[in-house]
Chain A
Amino acid sequence: MRALRSIFAALLLGGLAAAPTLAQEAPTPPQQQWSWEGPFGTFDLAAAQRGFQVYSEVCSACHSMKQLHYRDLAGIGLSLQEITAIAAAVTVPQGVDDQGQPKEGPATPGSQFRSPFPNEQAARAAENGALPPDLSVIVNGREGHADYIYAILTGFAAPPPTFTMQGGMNYNEYFPGHQIAMPQPLHDGQVAYTDGTPNTVAQMSHDVVTFMAWAANPELVERKQIGWRVVLFLVVMTGLTYAVKRKVWADVDH
């Protein structure tokens, strides 16, 4: 049992090269301004829509977002017509046909987001052994949250001269251990925005992080709205019950 466990541990250490949570020296990601922060913050929907464009054209080549359905895009302000059109342009698996053969067809608003690879093995085979993580809840799933994801997307650089890189790895200032399997995904001018927003790496990173933050917490705006009503109700209720308590206790010497 113990021997088994140490073999296990050795395997783990070997597999950690691309682990996102490895606690090695990495600078704290700088704080950015995000529209959804604070008790009144909401998502910048224009940025989230541009972010969806960046995800569709760039990230989705390798990264799945399998917790999302196309219908969810109503949450970033797309109409049903737009969503139907977006879905129809994507081919997704649709179970099996009458002969028992796997079938594919155009997605509908009710379809899950298309995953780039059918399974982990296929992903690793195509990605030099690395597994691109699912992005559905990645903003919640990393220490530093949106700031960290933004720092990774903008943190690619040439390695310092003394730094030894492993084959196929890329240098990133903010990735724990500095060696990340993902090559720099965004370059200036890469995605053609239609609303005139400059398509710099910083802007595209900001937009796609906004989209991913929405994807991880689609309930955020409704949650805060309900929250304020609940808090206001409870403040009034606290005042009332305290007044009642004072009145009830007024005749007791305590």
Chain B
Amino acid sequence: MAGQQHDSSFSNPVIQWIDTRLPIFTMMQKEYAIFPTPKNFNYFWNFGALAMVILGIMIATGVLLAMNYQPNTLLAFDSIQHIMRDVNYGWLIRYLHQNGASMFFIVTYIHMFRGLYYGSYKYPRELLWMLGVVILLVMMATAFMGYVLPWGQMSYWGATVITNLFSAFPGVGPPIVTWLWGGFSVDNPTLNRFFSLHYLLPFVLVAVIFLHVAALHIVGSNNPLGIDVKSPQDTVPFHPYYTAKDSVGICVFLLVYAAFVFFMPNALGDPNNFIPANPLQTPADIVPEWYFLPYYAILRSIPNKLAGVCLMFGSLLILFVLPWLDTSRVRSARFRPVYRQLIWVWVAAVIGLGVCGAHKPEGIWVVLSRVCTLYYFLHFLVILPVLGKLEHPLPLPDSISRPVIGGGGGPLPGGATAKPMEKA
């Protein structure tokens, strides 16, 4: 035998010819068309798809920007202005990219909140969640390096402050910083390598997202009730049901994005980045972009630099062990009366940290950032492990189709599902 051909069900001869040799169409059909998806998603479940859309926009606009950008300390600032003024629709490409970074973080943070609220990180989705944390870390590194590229004052001083964090580690710290810089201060070698890595990391992101989605398609999606799919009646095929619902979310998301890009493109930026980088003049207050402010507040809440750095990285790394810190077996906050309240206190603490991060660490802001930092860690290290033991969860529904009270959710009418139906 010369080998086996895949048994393709496609009737179009060209598609069939390809599919019998490389069954990508069968795979797409299985994973994105008939893929059985819980039928009770709310609009929070749009944000994964939104993150994919914005990543695509970021890569497309980024490739175009790289065609006109000069990663050289003498030319970088002017090359951005060249893009804004002389490249055809360069201002549009650049503002899409600049504001796209903020949109990517808004979408990702809401996506993560969804996971926290509905317990999407719990068995059997621990690895799926951990891959998500890797995605967040890669995103942050990419965004940080991207912010350095325009070589404005905040680019330069942000890069100086953040790279200097590594100098807090005793012994190995200062050599690490020199190694990161490629010299003895943030300078041309730093800008060059940041440009290179800023172009590389998004494709690393694509690879990790592929694993994230692959893991999702093995264990299946969580849902607002947080209970397992019991029968085919609990699900609908991904297409057309969720392609249609995601399309609505994408349109609304693009509206918000367009409002920023076209009517307030610099609202989320810092005026200091319109001043070319000057190593001899420190801005009055060095602040990162809004999406890093909570971590920045944690860093500055501790008077000891090493402790601050450890807490800041710890605030992210703790997410890796979240599936084991939360001892409750109930996923959805809907059925956890106490967790349902406390998750909002945690959200308030994170927002509080964000506000603190935007202010100089003086007076009330120091106190507030310490209280919020304390609560941030208390939530993960004390409340979640203990609450799972003490809390009395509400009774869970029997199935997605049949909520616990009332018998609603009859079987789907014909044509609504690609799978044969079972009696409820």
Residues of chain A whose beta carbon lies under 8 Å from any beta carbon of chain B: 1, 9, 11-12, 15-16, 19-23, 39, 66-67, 72, 133, 136-138, 140-143, 145, 216, 218-219, 223-224, 226-228, 230-231, 234-235, 237-238, 241-242, 244-245, 248-249, 251-254
Please give, as numbers and ranges, the residues of chain B lying within 8 Å of A226 by CB-CB distance. 92, 262
Contact with A along B292-334 (1 / 0, CB 8 A): 0000000000000000000000000000000000000000000
Residue in B closest to A134 when the chains form the complex, CB atoms: B276
Q: At the interface with chain A, which of B194-202, B335-343, B412-420?
A: B412-420
11 residue pairs bridging A and B, Cβ less than 8 Å apart: A20-B275, A39-B263, A141-B275, A231-B255, A231-B258, A231-B259, A241-B248, A245-B248, A249-B241, A251-B413, A254-B40
Please give, as numbers and ranges, the residues of chain A lying within 8 Å of B275 by CB-CB distance. 20-21, 133, 141
Residue in A closest to B262 when the chains form the complex, CB atoms: A227
Residue in A closest to B252 when the chains form the complex, CB atoms: A238
Please tell me if the beta carbons of B274 and A234 are within 8 angstroms of each other in the complex: no
Please tell me if the beta carbons of B272 and A249 are within 8 angstroms of each other in the complex: no
CA distance A231 to B252 in the complex (A): 10
Besides A141-B273, A244-B244, 14 new A-B residue pairs in contact (Cβ under 8 A), listed by A number: A12-B281, A15-B280, A20-B275, A67-B81, A133-B275, A138-B274, A140-B271, A141-B271, A223-B262, A228-B262, A234-B255, A241-B250, A241-B251, A248-B240
Residues of chain B whose beta carbon lies under 8 Å from any beta carbon of chain A: 39-40, 78, 81, 84-85, 91-92, 95, 153, 174, 236, 240-241, 244-245, 247-248, 250-252, 254-255, 258-259, 261-263, 265-266, 271-275, 280-285, 401, 408-410, 412-413, 415-416
Please give, as numbers and ranges, the residues of chain A lying within 8 Å of B40 by CB-CB distance. 254
Please give, as numbers and ranges, the residues of chain A lying within 8 Å of B91 by CB-CB distance. 219, 223
Please give, as numbers and ranges, the residues of chain A lying within 8 Å of B285 by CB-CB distance. 23
Residue in A closest to B276 when the chains form the complex, CB atoms: A134
Please tell me if the beta carbons of A249 and B85 are within 8 angstroms of each other in the complex: no
CA distance A1 to B181 in the complex (A): 14
Please tell me if the beta carbons of A238 and B263 are within 8 angstroms of each other in the complex: no
CA distance A238 to B413 in the complex (A): 27
Please give, as numbers and ranges, the residues of chain A lying within 8 Å of B153 by CB-CB distance. 21
Please tell me if the beta carbons of A252 and B262 are within 8 angstroms of each other in the complex: no
Please tell me if the beta carbons of B412 and A253 are within 8 angstroms of each other in the complex: yes
Q: Identify whether the interface residues of B are mostly helix, strand, loop, or mixed.
A: helix
Please tell me if the beta carbons of B281 and A15 are within 8 angstroms of each other in the complex: yes
Please give, as numbers and ranges, the residues of chain B lying within 8 Å of A145 by CB-CB distance. 271
Known contacts being A141-B272, A231-B262, is A252 close to B251, with CB within 8 Å? no
CA distance A218 to B274 in the complex (A): 15
Which of B92, B281, B416 is close to A19, meaning CB atoms less than 8 Å apart? B281
- Nearest-neighbour CB distance to chain B for A123, whole angstroms, equals 14
Please give, as numbers and ranges, the residues of chain B lying within 8 Å of A252 by CB-CB distance. 39, 236, 241, 412, 416
Residue in A closest to B413 when the chains form the complex, CB atoms: A251
Please give, as numbers and ranges, the residues of chain A lying within 8 Å of B174 by CB-CB distance. 1
Please tell me if the beta carbons of B247 and A230 are within 8 angstroms of each other in the complex: no
Residue in B closest to A234 when the chains form the complex, CB atoms: B255
CA distance A238 to B282 in the complex (A): 46
- Nearest-neighbour CB distance to chain A for B177, whole angstroms, equals 9
Please tell me if the beta carbons of B39 and A254 are within 8 angstroms of each other in the complex: yes
Known contacts being A224-B263, A227-B262, A234-B254, is A22 close to B284, with CB within 8 Å? yes
Please tell me if the beta carbons of B409 and A235 are within 8 angstroms of each other in the complex: no
Which of B84, B261, B281, B401 is close to A227, meaning CB atoms less than 8 Å apart? B261
Residue in B closest to A218 when the chains form the complex, CB atoms: B85
Interface pairs A-B: 6 shortest CB-CB: A227-B262, A141-B274, A23-B284, A238-B251, A219-B91, A245-B244
Please give, as numbers and ranges, the residues of chain A lying within 8 Å of B240 by CB-CB distance. 248
Please give, as numbers and ranges, the residues of chain A lying within 8 Å of B273 by CB-CB distance. 141
